[in-house]
Structure 1
Amino acid sequence: MEVIELTIDEQQQNERLDKVLSTINSEWSRTQVQQWIKDEVVKVNGNAVKGNYKCKINDRIVIEIPEPEPLDVIPEEMDLDIYYEDQDVLVVNKPRGMVVHPAPGHMTGTLVNGLMAHCKDLSGINGVLRPGIVHRIDKDTSGLLMVAKNDMAHESLVNQLVNKTVTRRYKAIVHGVIPHDHGTIDAPIGRDRHDRQSMTVTDENGKEAVTHFNVLKRFNDFTFVECQLETGRTHQIRVHMKYIGYPLAGDPKYGPKKTLPIDGQALHAGILGFTHPRTGEYKEFEAPLPKDFQDMLELLEKRS
């Protein structure tokens, strides 16, 4: 067990405890810190507190970091669509319908299960259930993901995401005919107060979210677009396109029920680019649209 002690200074006073701790070490996520506080391995002046505790100057914080849990994700042999792999990073094309990482009650059949069988060396920064996972895409979104095979690569890729230098371009089919050729949606996204499983545009608890889009083709009642992420909030493209009145086709959470015959939202992470953590070389990869997505475009073409 590692024990870390610190004293709150003037700059940190009046800040939430979980926020202060998550800024001390770049490897500590806010979610991880909040779990430590909940498990009472974080003490303030010898006492357990809640994550929203407001720090006071000269507060003495003691963190007893628990030993890492043994990795209990079951490796599963899968036919993964690997686009690139070296000693540091791996780029994989995730199919629609596959969950990225295990969660309680859903411990098998995920991309991480397949990655565990494919390679034994994955970064451990994100914990037991998300080894190597730097960013995610939704279950019913297909496309490219970068995976870190060691902690050095993980930190580099996360920093690139934070600094908005990663290229992430998606193709999508949306309801309605967008009249302008391109645009930018700059609207904060946070948890929906009325539905904790959904995200929404909100000033109340929202975080900065920016999506750029270009129209690729217009149909009678739909538009084929390319979206580029500047930030990476949960469900960002799905929430932003709904916000401007053009929800994604097939989206079971944010779209209309009457839609195209596609299983899940018509969204594909087709282009991914980043600076290699070790060599400093910019690498970019492109995955073609999956067959069901292409079928929808052909269907719309025929209807038009």
Structure 2
Amino acid sequence: MHSPEHCFTPFKASLENIELPERFTFPFYYEPHPISLLAAQELQQHLQTQTDWEHNFGLEGKTETAIGKMFGVLVVKNKLGELGYLSAFSGKMADKNLLPGFVPPVFDMLREGSFFLDGQDKINMINAQIKALEADPLRSQLMANVKETRHQAETSLATHRSMMVENRKNRKMQRAASAEMSVDDRNELKKQLSQQSVVEKLQLRDLKLHWEAELARVTAELDALENNIAPLKQERKTLSAALQKQLFAQYRFLNIRGEEKDLRELFANTTAVIPPAGAGECAAPKLLHYAFKFGFEPIALAEFWWGSSPKSEIRRHQHYYPACQGKCQPILSHMLEGMQVDENPLLTNPAEGKQVEIIYQDEDMAVVNKPAEFLSVPGKTIEDSVYLRMKQHFPQATGPLIVHRLDMSTSGLMVIAITKRANKSLQRQFIQRTVQKRYCALIDGVLEQDSGIINLPMRGDLDDRPRQLVCFEHGKPAETKWEVIARTETLTKVHLYPKTGRTHQLRVHCAHHQGLNMPIIGDDLYGVKANRLHLHAETLELEHPITHEPMRFSVEADF
């Protein structure tokens, strides 16, 4: 019988000077509370000294097979009122999902004799059958036959059509030359030429029929084998869907009121509808479910990354991260019902009390200096933005005002289209990438080189918007040129020149381990939060949309 106290770890350090938080952590945007930091530090010490299991986090240079992990700590009070913490890891670790000292998964799919393992065994058997049938040498030979026959057919028909085109030209020339002949000879020639055309068309028809028959013959032989594989694939699909449905029903999550919902219910009203792979296996849902199940009172939460970064995501060793949106938001929204939780800072208007400085203006366009933490366009919950301020400032504007955007956290220059005619020209310049932009950034670390170019394709993180990933398979090309302006003992100031304009491009290219591997100071998504993101669009060069005169604007960063 599992004892809940096995996962409860009393603090080793003194809590004398730490005040408990008044509300529970808002898990999607937070700075770890001091008591969470202490719990995380004690867990990290345990990770460095424990000998119960082995896992390659990539901290000792073995990065090829390394798998970093997200860990979570939940500070709790037990039934005796004692403070301690619960620990969890995401997914599996050391090829197990149950390790001493860590809370168990909400559902242990790897438990011996579980329906999941039985179901997986059946699917694996079908996979083995499909693999054996697909590896049959006869199948490979028949596939090659079909490919070769199709190629021969295309070549044969193409050759005949080319011959017909050439003969048609010759007949046309003969008809033109027949003007000098007698009427009878000319009519005889026309008859012969006409018969030649008919014969060639009939030959093309017969050729098509021949190759259709040949293709049907070799395809039928292949289909006979494929027909043995298709039912197995359908059976695998049916079994997988049924197993997934059964699995979703086992992941049932409690909240503080004792209400329970499974994954299917929790994702039913989301855009995804079907829970994504790994939903419910993250640290935060595991921790809260365990606390509610065994009567621990949740006090504060923190999650940190341990180990080398994955190839696509930006995760830095020992850095703290919020819960992901795609997998955890529907689950945690239910689990936090009935609890006093910190306010969501993303619902607070960050632009309140700030002004948008207009540094240039004529009847067609304007250029503004956007403050940091100021939306370019209205968001889901906050309308205040550069667009709204410009709409108020230019009430007679016929243009859409916003031609391009800056991230909310980035400060700097934006061009505004006041008239329709200006917008068309400015849009074309941005699409054709003739607008020259230079950004200034302060990054966390000292760059040894003086300049370089970063080419890392990017796409959105479907499981954790608005974060972006580096993805060489599905990402869009993204290129940034950089050069060092100044260095200190711990920081580097750089100029950044984006050739493309992907979302978060400069932030990702700086932070990713294949880029500069140094996040921009104050980057709350890919680095560590500070008073602001130290990224500023300081120079903008373009052509006036009406006069076509070259224009250059510059505003220095205030950091």
Counterpart for residue 518 of structure 2: 246
The structure-2 alpha-carbon separation of the partners of 1:117 and 1:256, relative to structure 1 and needing over 3 Å to count, comes to closer
- Give the distance between the partners of 1:283 and 1:199, measured in 2 at CA: 33
Q: Within 1, Cα distance between the matches of 2:482 and 2:449?
A: 10
Give distance in 2, aligned partners of 1:93 and 1:286: 9
The verdict on how the C-alpha distance between 1:203 and 1:123 changes in structure 2, with shifts beyond 3 A counting, is farther
Aligned counterpart, 1:275 = 543
Percent of residue pairs identical: 38
Does the Cα contact within 8 Å between 1:77 and 1:117 map onto a contact in 2?
Answer: no
Of 101, 111, 128 in structure 1, the residue corresponding to residue 377 of structure 2 is 101
State the match for 1:265 in structure 2.
533
Q: Which residue in 2 is equivalent to 1:83? A: 359
TM-score (norm 2): 0.35
Q: Which runs of 4+ in 1 moved over 4 A?
A: 76-79
Deviation at residue 284 of structure 1 after TM alignment: 0.6
What are the Cα deviations for residues 41-94 of structure 1, in whole angstroms up to 9, with x where unaligned? xxxxxxxxxxxxxxxxxxxxxxxxxxxxxxxxxxx9984311111121110001
Q: Is the 8 A contact 1:217 1:225 kept in 2?
A: yes
The corresponding residue for 2:475 is 206
Query: 1:18-57 to 2 correspondence within 5 Å?
Result: none
Match of 1:192 in 2: 461
Q: Which residue of 2 aligns with 1:110?
A: 385
Q: Which residue of 1 aligns with 2:502?
A: 233
1:152, CA displacement in angstroms? 2.1
CA shift for structure 1 position 255: 0.9
Secondary structure of residue in 2 paired with 1:112: helix
For 2:485, the equivalent position in structure 1 comes to 216
Question: 1:240, CA displacement in angstroms?
Answer: 0.7
For 2:476, give the aligned amino acid. K
User: In 2, distance between residues paired with 1:99 and 1:111?
Assistant: 6
Q: Which amino acid aligns with 1:233?
A: R
Alpha carbons 1:140, 1:263 under 8 Å: kept: no
Deviation, 1:200, is 1.7
Query: Is residue 173 from structure 1 mapped to residue 461 from structure 2 by the alignment?
Result: no
Task: Name 1:143's counterpart in structure 2.
Answer: 412
Q: For 2:369, give the aligned amino acid.
A: N
The Cα shift of 1:266 comes to: 0.5
Helix, strand or coil at the partner of 2:389: helix
Partners of 1:78 and 1:215 lie apart in 2 by 31
Task: Write the deviation string for residues 133-185 of structure 1: whole angstroms up to 9, x where unpaired.
Answer: 11111112111000111222222212211211111101101111111100111
Q: Which amino acid aligns with 1:94?
A: K
Q: Tell me, yes or no, if the aligned pair for 2:354 and 2:371 is still in contact at 8 Å.
A: no
For structure 1, the 5+ residue unaligned runs are 1-75, 125-130, 294-304
Structure with greater strand share of residues: 1
Structure in which a larger fraction of residues adopt helix: 2
Q: Deviations over 1:11-45 (max 9, x none)?
A: xxxxxxxxxxxxxxxxxxxxxxxxxxxxxxxxxxx
Q: Give me the CA root mean square deviation.
A: 1.9
Deviation of 1:123 after TM superposition, in Å, equals 4.9
Normalised TM-score (structure 1):
0.64
Give the secondary-structure state (helix, strand or coil) at the position aligned to 1:155: helix
- Give the greater-gyration-radius structure (CA): 2
Once residues 239 and 79 of structure 1 are traced to their aligned partners in structure 2, the CA distance between those partners, rounded to angstroms, is 28
Preserved contact between residue 191 and residue 205 of structure 1 (Cα < 8 Å): no
What SS is found at the alignment partner of 2:405?
Answer: coil
Q: Tell whether the 8 Å contact from 2:372 to 2:533 is kept in structure 1 after alignment.
A: no
Whether contact under 8 Å (1:141, 1:269) holds in the other structure is yes
Give the aligned residue type for 1:112: Y
Helix, strand or coil: the match of 2:466? Answer: strand
Name the CA distance, whole Å, in 2 between partners of 1:196 and 1:282: 38
Superposed CA offset, 1:178-215 (max 9, x none): 11100111121111244222112112331121111100
**Residue in structure 2 matched with residue 71 of structure 1 by the alignment:** none
Aligned to 1:21: none
1:156 is the counterpart of 2:425: yes
Q: State the one-letter code of the partner of 2:446.
A: V
Return the alpha-carbon distance in structure 2 between the equivalents of residues 78 and 179 of structure 1: 37
Equivalent residue pairs, number: 205
Alignment partner of 2:520: what SS? coil
Q: Which ranges of structure 2 fall in alignment gaps of 5 or more residues?
A: 1-351
